[in-house]
Structure 1
Amino acid sequence: MVGKIGFPPPEADSFTPSGRSANFDDALSGGRFTLSHGWQIRGPWDRPLFLALNTGLSLAQSEEKVLNSVSSGVSSMLVTSSGDPVGRIDLETASDLSSSSASGTVRLGDAGPTISSTAISTGGLPGGISQFAVSSGDDGMAFLALTTEGQSGAAAAYGALVDDRGFTFLGTGDTRGTSITSRRSARFRAFEQDAIFATRVSLEGDWGMTAGVGPMYSQTKYAVRRSISIDIDEGAVDREVPDLALLHHDRIDTRYAGLTGAASVSRSITRNWTMRLGGGLGVSRYWSEYTGSSQALVEGFGLTDLEAQSDTLSGISFNTQASLEFVRPLSKGASLSLGVSAQYSGAVPTLENRRSHGRRDNLASSGTNSRYEARGERNFAPELTTRDSWTYGLQLGLTQVF
Structure 2
Amino acid sequence: MPDNSIAAAVPRSIQSFLLLTPGEWRDLFSSRHHPRLFQRERARFILSRVRIIAALLAILAPFRLAVDDLLLPRHLFILLDSGRIIAAVAFAVLAFFCRCSPTQRHARLAMVLLFLIPSLFFLFSHVLLAHARLYGAAEYFDKYTYLPFILMASVGVFPTALLEALAFTLSLLTVFALPLWLRQDPRILPELIDLALVASVSTLAAMSQLQSMKRLFVQSSTDPLTGLFNRRAGEDLLALLFAQAERHPHSLSIAMLDVDNFKGVNDNWGHETGDQVLQEIAQLLQSGVRMGDAVIRWGGEEFVVVMPYANAEQAQARLEEILDGHTLRRPDGQPIGMSGGIAELQAKSGKSWGDLVKLADNRMYHVKTNGKGRVISE
With structure 2 as the length reference, what TM-score do the two structures score? 0.22
Structure (1 or 2) with the greater strand fraction: 1
Structure (1 or 2) with the greater helix fraction: 2
* Bigger-Rg structure (1/2): 1
1 or 2 for the larger relative contact order (CA 8 Å, sep ≥6)? 1
